Structure 1
Amino acid sequence: MEDLAAWLARLTFADLTQDEVTARIIDAVAAWGDAQGWRVYRRAPSVVTLPPPMDRQHSVLDVALARPGAPPVVVEVDHTDRRRTIDKLLAEAGAGRVAVWVRWGPGRLAEPPAPIRMIPLPVTRHQGRYARRTEPERPAPAHSPQAAAAGEVIELPLPDQDVT
Structure 2
Amino acid sequence: MSAFEETRQTAQELHHFLSATFEWRKRTKAEVTQELTALVLRWSETHPGWQALTESPSVATTEIRSGIRHGRLDVAIDRLASPKLVIEIDSSNKQWSLEKLVAEAMTGAHAIWLRWGFPELRLPVPEPVVLLFFDATKRTWLSRQRSL
Task: Bin the TM-score by the shorter chain.
Answer: 0.7 to 0.9
Query: Paired residue for 1:20?
Result: 31
Per-residue CA distance 1:120-160 (angstroms, 9 max, x = gap): 11113xxxxxx9479xxxxxxxxxxxxxxxxxxxxxxxxxx
1:46 pairs, out of 50, 53, 58, with: 58
Cα separation, 1, equivalents of 2:19 and 2:63: 35
Residue 106 of structure 2 aligns to which amino acid in structure 1? G
Query: Paired residue for 1:155?
Result: none
Higher strand share: 2
- Structure 1 residue runs without a partner (length 5+): 125-130, 135-164
Structure 1 residue 5, shift from structure 2 partner: 1.2
1:119 pairs, out of 132, 145, 148, with: 132
- Structure 2 residue runs without a partner (length 5+): 1-9, 142-148
- TM (norm. structure 1) is 0.70
Per-residue CA distance 1:58-101 (angstroms, 9 max, x = gap): 21000000100210000000111122111111100001100100
Query: Paired residue for 2:144?
Result: none
Query: Paired residue for 2:41?
Result: 30
Matches within 5 A, 1:68-107: 68-107=80-119
Report how many aligned residue pairs link the two structures: 127
Cα separation, 2, equivalents of 1:23 and 1:59: 19
Query: Paired residue for 1:5?
Result: 15
Q: What is the root-mean-square deviation in Å for CA atoms of aligned residues?
A: 2.0
Show structure 1 runs of 4+ deviating over 4 A. 131-134
Larger Rg: 1
| Cα distance change of structure 1 residues 47 and 19 upon mapping to structure 2, 3 Å threshold | same
**Residues 99 and 116 of structure 1 are in contact (CA less than 8 Å); yes or no, is this contact kept in structure 2?**
yes
Cα separation, 1, equivalents of 2:44 and 2:126: 24
**Residues 134 and 140 of structure 2 are in contact (CA less than 8 Å); yes or no, is this contact kept in structure 1?**
no
Higher helix share: 2
